[in-house]
Chains A and B, each alone.
Chain A
Amino acid sequence: MSSIDDGIDEGLNEGLSAKEKQRYHRQLIMSEIGEAGQLMLKGGKVLVVGTGGLGSPVLYYLTAAGIGTIGFTDYDSVDLSNLQRQVLHRTPDLGKPKAVSAFEKLSALNPEIRLVPAGERVDRENAGHLISGYDVVVDCTDNFPARYILNEACIKSGKPFVHGGILGFFGQAMTIVPGKGPCFQCVFREPPPPEAMPHPPGVLGAVAGTIGTIQAAEVIKLLTGRGRLLTGRLLMYDALEVSFREVEVKPDSDCQVCGKN
């Protein structure tokens, strides 16, 4: 089992090199980020669970933005039916472990950061270890059970958890910050029965791109302390109508994961 704690040095945090200043120039000139914000990104450690439809845009944008350490895990291999939406993977990658395929693309995009691939399926036994050492966990999974497990592990260890989900032309996103709003299970009290989920669900690749990009921006906001997070706000995207609507969601005192009762 691998985690960020296994054999990784901590030598990336001194400052920005001339090459980094050039690479991140368009972020450095933003008043909301600047050099101080870029150093926060460089010092950030983010785990992305899943390298599929959501994981692809999340990983591309976090890698490009210069997050110092990015872990990602996926136990699956690249299949032809993935390529319509999972833009990290390409036709020559068919049959390759997704974690390997993702590592190849991301390391080519930005060799200045630390990438930590893992080929594990998240379960109750390994979740705590998997997320240890990371500052933020991003939900790019394709199933509800993994989301409940990750949510609970993040609440227990006080880590922000950036949720995303997609179905057809629709998507949703919410950022869970322990102690500062509802957790995933406050809102989605019980996992929907498996028969309630289409197998496999139809998904428009562009919707995965939209939601994944929102998740990536949430991570950058979390690491830099900028802006207003999607905490206590479930964002719903409808690509058919091109509408973004929000639902204010509240902490549930009876929640089995974070409730006070």
Chain B
Amino acid sequence: MKSEQKKLVGCAWMNITVRLFAGLRCENEELESFGKNDFEHILNQEMNLEEFLNYIGISIDVAKIILVNGLFEPLTYVLRDTDEISIFPPVGGG
């Protein structure tokens, strides 16, 4: 992942904390975080939430609840340095 990211030059690096819940995991096999549900990721290109979900291989059909720094944000939210993203499927049974 690091060598891949070193190719991405020209933008400020952003450290993003990702927390996945209720069985969600990073599904992008090309990332070091593959298979993890709690990880930090360095981005050096601008991405919104929808693009980032796609990047880590999580379908928006499953990721129905997304919080950034503890607050709801829409899929168009553009990620910023030190953001903490929490992603959940609907845990709605009782």
Chain A residues positioned under 8 Å from B71 (CB to CB): 186, 249-250, 252
Question: Which of A140, A171, A240 touches B91 (beta carbons < 8 Å)?
Answer: A171
- Encode contact with B along A5-43: 1 for CB under 8 Å, 0 otherwise: 000000000000000000000000000000000000000
Q: Is B39 at the interface (CB under 8 A from chain A)? A: no
Chain B residues positioned under 8 Å from A240 (CB to CB): 23
Q: Is B40 at the interface (CB under 8 A from chain A)? A: no
A245, B90: Cβ atoms closer than 8 Å: no
Q: With contacts A140-B94, A166-B91, A170-B91 known, is A248 near B70, CB below 8 A?
A: yes
How many Å from the CB of A28 to the closest CB on chain B? 32
Q: With contacts A170-B22, A236-B22, A252-B72 known, is A247 near B67, CB below 8 A?
A: yes
Interface window among A96-104, A125-133, A196-204:
A196-204
Interface size class for chain B?
Answer: 20 to 34
A238, B22: Cβ atoms closer than 8 Å: yes
Chain A residues positioned under 8 Å from B93 (CB to CB): 53, 142, 165-167, 200-201, 203, 208
Q: With contacts A55-B94, A169-B23, A171-B91 known, is A250 near B70, CB below 8 A?
A: yes
What are 17 of the A-B contact pairs (CB < 8 Å)? A50-B94, A54-B94, A140-B94, A165-B91, A167-B89, A167-B92, A169-B23, A170-B23, A188-B65, A192-B64, A201-B92, A236-B91, A238-B22, A247-B21, A247-B86, A248-B70, A249-B71
Give me the interface of A with B, judged by CB distance under 8 Å: 50, 52-55, 139-144, 147, 164-172, 186-189, 192, 196-197, 200-201, 203, 208, 236, 238, 240, 245, 247-250, 252
**Extra A-B contacts (14), CB below 8 Å, given A203-B93, A247-B70:** A139-B94, A143-B92, A165-B94, A167-B22, A167-B91, A170-B23, A171-B91, A186-B71, A186-B72, A196-B62, A236-B22, A245-B38, A248-B70, A252-B71
